[in-house]
Amino acid sequence: MRFRDRIIIYTAGLLLVAAGFGYAYLRFGVDRRPLADPPNRLEGVVQEGAELVLRYVADGVVAGSRRPLADPPNRLEGVVQEGAELVLRYVADGVVAWSEVLPVGEELVGLSLAEVRGLRPEWTVLSFAPTRLVVDVPCEPQGPGGFIRERDGLVAIFSGIADGCHKLMELTDLKVETLPLEAQEALRRGIEYDERSDLPQILEGLTSTR
């Protein structure tokens, strides 16, 4: 058989094989069935409830490891919780005149320290916890009346109420120790006045018996 005839036979054989593969592809197609178990869509991200193991390495060696606590952290640990205690300290003239304890209002529940300060800028927050909030509240005396009392050894004139909101109006140069014992005792208790026009008579009464 000549070389040319061999080439013709070999080429015809390749064409027959290719035709067979083409027929099989057209006849049966490609198997496009999905996988029985689809891959986990979250296998590449941290899932909720995943465990974090901390391995502490010193000098290239794992010195120890620790797992977090079983209970997740409290999401409300940084905000005021419902039913928390609110302690209001009313400050007058730099002194706490009185205080009261109340349950927090609904407007404060769920707020952080920064949010409480933004909502109540007049408050001075002394203590902030999820179950207890302590604040100083400035108070302004109301009305024309007031009282006279000792301050730093001198006779002082205040507006407002002795056991409530009050403000120092005037610190006289009258020394309490120079007054009679009866007047000193009255000043310790506080001498009330209704109008500022009453003050000259009261002060004169304190000094008239010296």
- Domain holding 128, by residue range, is 85-138
Average pLDDT over residues 6-11: 74
Choose the final residue of a domain: 96, 118, 138. Answer: 138
Residue 195 placed within a domain: yes
Average pLDDT over residues 135-156: 90
- Tell me, yes or no, whether 104 and 122 share the same domain: yes
User: Rounded to the nearest 5 degrees, what angle is found at the Cα of 160, between the Cα atoms of 158 and 165?
Assistant: 110
The string of pLDDT tens digits covering residues 178-199 is: 999 999 999 999 999 999 999 9
* Pairwise pLDDT comparison (115 vs 31), residue with the higher score: 115
* Pairwise pLDDT comparison (190 vs 71), residue with the higher score: 190
Place of tokens 């902030």: 128
Report the pLDDT value the prediction gives residue 34, as an integer from 0 to 100.
55
Choose the final residue of a domain: 95, 118, 138. Answer: 138
Long-range residue pairs from 119-128, CB within 8 A, at least 24 positions apart, any chain: 124/91, 126/89, 127/87
Residue 68 placed within a domain: no
> Comparing 6-15, 42-51, 71-80, 143-152, which segment has the lowest mean pLDDT?
71-80
Report the pLDDT value the prediction gives residue 140, as an integer from 0 to 100.
79
Q: pLDDT class for 49, splitting at 50, 70, 90?
A: low
Choose the final residue of a domain: 138, 155, 170. Answer: 138
Residue 109 placed within a domain: yes
Burial-class residue 45 by CB neighbours within 10 Å (0-12, 13-18, 19+): exposed
Residue 34 placed within a domain: no
Write down the mean pLDDT value for the chain.
80
* Pairwise pLDDT comparison (29 vs 191), residue with the higher score: 191
